[in-house]
């Protein structure tokens, strides 16, 4: 993990100090920080009731990050640098922009705090859908299409967003309405449990750290137990995933969290030695040349049957996995409005994904497990 910056130490250890040197002298006094086992994309430090939350890399290639000073409602805001954003806690309301944020609220029992969301039809959570159906969640629009007038009327205590680049334009407009914006960068985590641990990030804004840690420790325990079972496998079936979108076949890089899950499931992923943690964009021909003999094919995008895959592109039928009917969708579960439960809950529950993959690759190792996110295509 990165070392704590002088600015952060300045804020946490010596709010009233006026020099960097004074802050550095107090470095040894920093004792209380949020324990993280896998997540590398955020840090939380405590000074009494006040918290400093840091997201050092909010998007791929970022040269600087964001800092958030969490001050309990009613307490005096301490001196802070101009680039530090102040959030009053605990939140009474929140607007979110990604379905991956939804289970983070559900699992710390803060479902009722969601008051705004980008596109409510995408929400799969039954608890959250009940709020949507009751008219308690305002639809805001996506990215630059966020309806600022609706947001101004709603005025949640905070909006949780995500960033793919340094373009902060829309978020700046939102902050001008008096709505603080916090960037969630969980998608950059390399380890599946690192992504899951971002439940602690959500929790700090509600003072729910204990509940979040309890949830995470259970997920971690389940994941590690299944990983140990998979390690007993004598064979390692080869695996590919994804389909062509537009002109490219999108595949996880070798350092991507998805590649790690496939490895932990005791399978051989053809691009496991690739150094990137994003997604590869390859031609159909490149994928076919390398992986046409793959034993398993996981994740078929919009295609729900083998016939649909064949209709989309006859060349898919040349793959061994297609011919032997070893093709699985990860969208077996849909919300009431068609949202993907895998895309919503899966990032918090990599233990369930791992169970599914082990069941597919080594059914004898998990005889009692019933596929949850995945389904074999017919």
Q: Cα(100)–Cα(98) distance, rounded to whole angstroms?
A: 5
85 phi/psi in degrees, rounded to 5: -95, 135
Residue 254's CATH number: 3.40.50.1980
Q: Cα(156)–Cα(112) distance, rounded to whole angstroms?
A: 13
Q: What range defines the domain where residue 292 resides?
A: 231-376
Whether residues 136 and 247 fall in one domain:
no
Query: Residue 320: helix, strand or coil by DSSP?
Result: helix
Q: Indicate the average pLDDT of the chain.
A: 91
What single-letter DSSP state applies at residue 371? Answer: -
**Token digits for 177?**
């309405």
Judge whether residue 27 has pLDDT over 60: no
Closest CA to 374 of 319, 298, 262, 269: 298
At 23, is the pLDDT very low, low, confident or very high (cuts 50, 70, 90)?
Answer: very low
Question: Is 284 a member of any domain?
Answer: yes
Residue identified by tokens 């849909």 is 334
Share of the chain above pLDDT 70, in %: 92
Question: Is 225 a member of any domain?
Answer: no
Mind listing the pLDDT tens digit for each residue in 288-303? 999 999 999 999 999 9
In contact, 152 and 140? CB cutoff 8 Å: no
Mean pLDDT confidence for 97-112:
98
Whether residues 263 and 355 fall in one domain:
yes
Question: Is 223 a member of any domain?
Answer: no
Judge whether residue 137 has pLDDT over 60: yes
Query: Residue 269: helix, strand or coil by DSSP?
Result: strand
Judge whether residue 31 has pLDDT over 80: no
Per-residue DSSP letters for 42-110?
-EEEEETTEEEEEES-SSTT-S--EEEEEEETTSPPPP--TTEEEEEES-S-EEESSGGGHHHHHTTT-
Mind listing the pLDDT tens digit for each residue in 234-271? 999 999 999 999 999 999 999 999 999 999 999 999 99
At 24, is the pLDDT very low, low, confident or very high (cuts 50, 70, 90)?
Answer: very low
Supply the pLDDT for residue 3: 41
Mind listing the pLDDT tens digit for each residue in 181-225? 999 999 999 999 999 999 999 999 999 999 999 999 999 999 999
Looking at 160, 188, 217, the residue that finishes a domain is: 217
Judge whether residue 19 has pLDDT over 60: no
Q: Which residues contact 128 (CB under 8 A, 6 or more apart)?
A: 102, 105, 106, 111, 114, 137
Mean pLDDT confidence for 12-26:
39
Share of the chain above pLDDT 90, in %: 88
Q: Cα(32)–Cα(237) distance, rounded to whole angstroms?
A: 45
Supply the pLDDT for residue 250: 93
Whether residues 197 and 259 fall in one domain:
no
Whether residues 208 and 246 fall in one domain:
no
Supply the pLDDT for residue 143: 86
């Amino acid at each position: 993990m990165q070392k704590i910056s002088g600015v952060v130490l300045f804020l946490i250890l010596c709010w009233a100090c006026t020099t960097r040197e004074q802050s550095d002298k107090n470095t040894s006094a920093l004792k209380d920080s949020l324990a993280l086992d896998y997540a590398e994309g955020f840090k939380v430090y405590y000074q009494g009731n006040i918290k400093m939350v840091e997201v050092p890399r909010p998007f791929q290639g970022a040269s600087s990050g964001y800092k958030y000073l969490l001050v309990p409602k009613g307490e005096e805001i301490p001196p802070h640098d101009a680039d530090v954003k102040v959030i009053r806690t605990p939140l009474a309301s929140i607007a979110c922009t990604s379905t991956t944020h939804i289970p983070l609220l559900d699992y710390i029992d803060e479902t009722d705090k969601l008051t705004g969301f980008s596109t409510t039809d995408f929400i799969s959570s039954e608890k959250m859908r009940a709020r949507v159906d009751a008219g308690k969640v305002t639809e805001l629009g996506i990215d630059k299409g966020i309806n600022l007038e609706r947001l101004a009327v709603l005025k949640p205590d905070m909006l949780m967003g995500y960033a793919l680049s340094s373009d902060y334009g829309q978020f700046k407009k939102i902050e001008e309405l008096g709505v603080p914006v916090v960037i969630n960068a969980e998608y950059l985590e390399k380890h599946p449990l690192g992504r899951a641990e971002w439940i602690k990030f959500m929790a700090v804004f509600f003072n729910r750290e204990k509940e979040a840690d309890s949830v995470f420790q259970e997920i971690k325990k389940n994941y590690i137990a299944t990983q140990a079972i998979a390690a007993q496998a004598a064979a390692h079936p080869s695996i590919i995933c994804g389909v062509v979108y537009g002109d490219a076949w999108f595949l996880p890089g070798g350092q991507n969290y998805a590649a790690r899950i496939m490895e932990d499931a005791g399978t051989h992923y053809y691009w496991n030695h690739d150094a990137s943690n994003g997604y590869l964009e390859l031609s159909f021909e490149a994928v076919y040349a390398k992986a046409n003999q793959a034993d398993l094919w996981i994740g078929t995008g919009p295609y729900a049957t083998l016939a649909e895959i064949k209709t989309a592109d006859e060349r898919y039928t040349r793959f061994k996995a297609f011919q032997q009917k070893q093709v699985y969708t990860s969208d077996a579960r849909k919300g009431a409005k068609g949202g993907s439960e895998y895309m919503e809950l899966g990032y918090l529950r990599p233990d369930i994904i791992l169970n599914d993959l082990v069941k597919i690759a080594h059914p004898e190792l998990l005889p009692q497990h019933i596929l949850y996110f995945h389904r074999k295509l017919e």
